[in-house]
Chains A and B, each alone.
Chain A
C-alpha cells in the first residue's frame, strides 16, 4: 500500500512539474534519466533476477524506436499507439531471445544478444523506407492540450512508463515468479528438478523485459525529431542498462532505480559540462569499481550499514 501511494505521488509530481513554469532543459534531461530507469529496471528482470546477462538492450530499444517511426510515417499513428507497438515488437524479440536461453547460458547468451544487436542495426541501415544509414528527420505533431511543449508531454509519458516498469518489476520480485527466477539464477538444474517451470519463467522474463525496453525506445524518435541506426542500436544503451542495476543493486527492485537516477543524473551533468565521451567512461569505471568492491551495489552497502549500526 505504501508503495502505491508513493507511485501515485511520483506521477502527480511529474504532472505538476510539467505544468509548472520550470526550465525547459530540466525536462529535456529528465526524460533521458527516466528512460534509463525503464531500461535498467527491464534489464534487471532478466539479468538481476534470472542471471542472464543481456548486452543487447540497444536491439530492443532501437527496434521500439523504429516500429514507432514506421507507424508514424505510414499511418501518422498517435504516440500511445507507437508505444504499444514498440512494446509488442520488443516482446516478440524477447520471446525469440527467450527461446535462445534453452541452449545458451552465461557468456554464450551475452554474446548472442550482441549478435542480435548488430544484425538489427545492419537491417535498418539497409532499409531505405526508414532512411537507411543517414536516418530520417521527423516532424512532431501538435502537442496535446494541457502541456506547453512536446518535451514536457514526453517527460510525463516516460514518468508513467517508469512507474509501470518499476511496479511490474516489484510484482515479479515479491511473487512466486521472482522466487522461481532466483532459483534459476542460483542453479538452473536444481530449479528444474524441484519443479520450477524454468523455460516458462525464462520466456516470461524475456518477454516482459523486451516489451519494457521496446516501449522505452518508442518515444525516442519523437523526442529527438530524428532517427538513425547507429545511435538507436548503440552498444552504449547496453552498458548503461547493465551498469545501473549493478551499481544500484540487482536483488531488489529499488536497485536499478537508484542506479539509473544516480548514474543518469551524473551522465546528464557530465555531458553538458565536460563531454559525451567522459560520460561513457564514468559508466565504465563505476561499473568496474562496483562489480569489484561492492558486488551487491548501493542497496547491499546500505543493508550492511544498517545491520552494523543495529548491532
Chain B
C-alpha cells in the first residue's frame, strides 16, 4: 500500500469523528468507574441494551436520537436500582468486595447479552433516519452524516456533563464523593444517595450512547465485548473521572484506530483499543489527566 498524506489526512479526519464518538460512549463509564470506583464491567452491555431499546422505540417511527433521549429516565432508574443493589450486597459489607463485585458485574453483562440474544436473536439491527447512509462531500473528502451526528451529540454530552459536574451543587457533590467520602459524610451529606444519583446519570447517559451506537453502525448482542476494550481504554487513558480527559483520550483512540484501519485493514482494528489499554496500564496507569 502506497503511503500518501492525502489518505493520512482523511484517516485523521475520520479518526476525529470516531474519537468523539468513543468519548461519548465512554463518558458514562468515566462517571461510574472513574469517579465512583464501581468496577462496572457491565457498562458496555447496558449500552448495547440501550441500542436495542432505541431500535424498539424507533420502530414506532421516532427519530433514533429522540428515542435515546426518551429512554434516558428509564435507564436512570435502572442505574439507581443497580447501584442500590450493589451497595447493599457488596459495598456495605466491605470485605473482599473486590473479587465478588467484579464477578457480579461480569455476570450481569453476560445476562444482559444473552437476554438480548434470546429476545432479538443474533442478527444485526439497524435504524433508519434521513442522516444515515448519506455523506457530506467537502472537496474530495466524504464525511458520513451519521458520524457527524454522533460527533455533535458527543460534544454536547461532554460539555453538558462537564458543566454539570463543575457548576451545579449535586455535580460538585459527586466530585467530592470521589475525592473524600468521609469528609462529605462529616459535612452532613449522604454519600450513598449522591453515588446513587451519579450512577443513575451514568446509566441514563448510556441510553443515549446506545442510540449513537446504533446510528453509527449495525448492532448485535455480542458487540459489548468489543466495547469493554474501547470504553475502558478511553477512561483509563483519560485518567479516572476527568471529563475533558475523556474527550482527549477518545480522540487518541479514534485517530489511532482509524490510521490502523487504513494501513492494515479492518481485521486488526479490534486490537488497537486493547493494545493501547495495555500500554497505558503498563506505563501510566493514572492516565493522561489523572487526579
Residues of A within 8 A of B (CB): 47, 51, 53, 55, 100, 103-104, 106-108, 110-112, 114-116, 118-119, 121-123, 125-126, 133, 185, 235, 239, 242-243, 246, 250, 277-278, 280-281, 283-285, 287-288, 291-292, 295
Closest Cβ neighbor of A104 among chain B residues: B281
B103–A122 touching, CB < 8 Å: no
Contact between chains at A122 and B267 (CB < 8 Å):
yes
Contact A288 B271 (CB under 8 A): no
B41 in contact (CB, < 8 A):
yes
Q: Which residues of B contact A116 (CB under 8 A)?
A: 274, 278
A246 in contact with B103 (CB, 8 Å): yes
Please state if B107 and A287 are interface contacts (CB–CB under 8 Å): yes
Contact A239–B106 (Cβ < 8 Å): yes
CA–CA, A110 to B236, complex, Å?
A: 13
CB pair B103–A277 under 8 Å, yes or no, is: no
In the assembled complex, B56 has its CB within 8 A of some CB on chain A: no
Q: Which of B31-53 contact A (CB under 8 A)?
A: 33, 39, 41
In this complex, what residue of A is CB-closest to B224? A235
With a CB–CB cut-off of 8 A, which chain B residues contact A106? Answer: 39, 98, 102
B232 adjacent to A111 (CB under 8 Å): yes
Contact partners of A246 in chain B: CB under 8 A: 100, 103
Residue of B nearest to A246 (CB): B103
Query: In the complex, which residue of chain B has the Cβ closest to the Cβ of A234?
Result: B225
B274 and A280 contact, CB distance less than 8 A: no
Question: What's the Cα separation between A243 and B98 when bound, in Å?
Answer: 15
Q: Are B102 and A110 in contact (CB under 8 A)?
A: yes
Quick check: B41 and A277 within 8 Å, CB to CB? no
Residues of A within 8 A of B236 (CB): 108, 111
Q: Is the CB of A114 within 8 A of B228?
A: yes
Contact status B99-A115, CB under 8 Å = no
A243 CA / B103 CA spacing, docked (Å) = 8
Asked whether B281 lies within 8 Å of A122 as measured between CB atoms, the reply is no
Which residues from 228 to 282 on chain B have a C-beta closer than 8 Å to any C-beta of chain A? 228-229, 232, 236, 267-268, 270-271, 274-275, 277-278, 281-282
Please name the residue on chain A nearest to B278 by beta carbon: A115
Decide yes or no: A281 and B118 within 8 Å by CB, A115-B274, A115-B277, A119-B278 being known contacts: yes
Docked Cα-Cα span, A100 to B228, in Å, equals 19
Smallest beta-carbon distance B273→chain A, Å: 8
Pick from B89, B111, B229: contact of A281, CB below 8 A.
B111
Residues of A within 8 A of B96 (CB): 51, 185, 295
B217 on the A face (CB < 8 A): no
A53 close to B114 (CB less than 8 A): no
Judge whether A51 and B99 touch: CB under 8 Å.
yes
Which residues on B sit within 8 Å (CB–CB) of A51?
96, 98-99
A100 touches B282 (CB 8 A): yes
Give the docked Cα–Cα distance between A292 and B33 (Å).
20
**Interface residues as binary, B161-202 with A (CB distance below 8 Å gives 1, 0 otherwise):** 000000000000000000000000000000000000000000
Least Cβ–Cβ distance between B124 and chain A, in angstroms:
16
Determine the residue in chain A with the shortest Cβ distance to B225.
A235
Q: List 20 A-B contacts (CB under 8 A).
A: A104-B285, A107-B41, A107-B102, A108-B236, A111-B236, A114-B274, A115-B274, A115-B275, A115-B281, A116-B274, A119-B274, A119-B278, A133-B267, A243-B103, A246-B100, A277-B118, A278-B114, A280-B110, A281-B110, A285-B107
Q: Are A277 and B114 in contact, with the CB atoms below 8 A?
A: yes
The CA-CA distance from A295 to B90 in the complex, in Å, is 10
Contacts of B117 in A (CB 8 A): 277
State whether the Cβ of B152 lies closer than 8 Å to any Cβ in chain A. no
- Measured between C-beta atoms, what is the minimum distance from B237 to chain A in Å? 12
CB of B108 within 8 Å of the partner chain: yes
Q: Taking CB as reference atom, which chain A residue is nearest B33?
A: A107
| Complex Cα gap A291–B113 (Å) | 19
- Most B CB atoms within 10 A — which of A278, A280, A281, A284? A284
* B218 CB within 8 Å of chain A: no
Please measure, in the bound complex, the distance between the C-alpha atom of A104 and the C-alpha atom of B278, giving whole angstroms: 11
With the chains together, A116 CA to B270 CA distance in Å? 12
Please, how many angstroms separate the alpha-carbon atoms of A53 and B41 in the complex?
A: 13
Complex Cα distance, B104 from A243, in Å, reads 10
Residues of A within 8 A of B133 (CB): none
> How far, in angstroms, from A215 to B119 measured CA to CA in the complex?
37
Q: Is the CB of B103 within 8 A of A287?
A: yes
Closest to B115 in A: A281
Chain B residues within an 8 Å CB radius of A133: 267
Residues of B within 8 A of A103 (CB): 281-282, 285
B33 surroundings in chain A (CB, below 8 A):
107
Q: B115 — which chain A residues lie within 8 A by C-beta? A: 281
> Within the assembled complex, what's the spacing in Å between the Cα atoms of A91 and B157?
45
A47 B281 Cβ-Cβ under 8 A: no
Task: Assess whether A112 is in contact with B108, with CB atoms less than 8 Å apart.
Answer: no
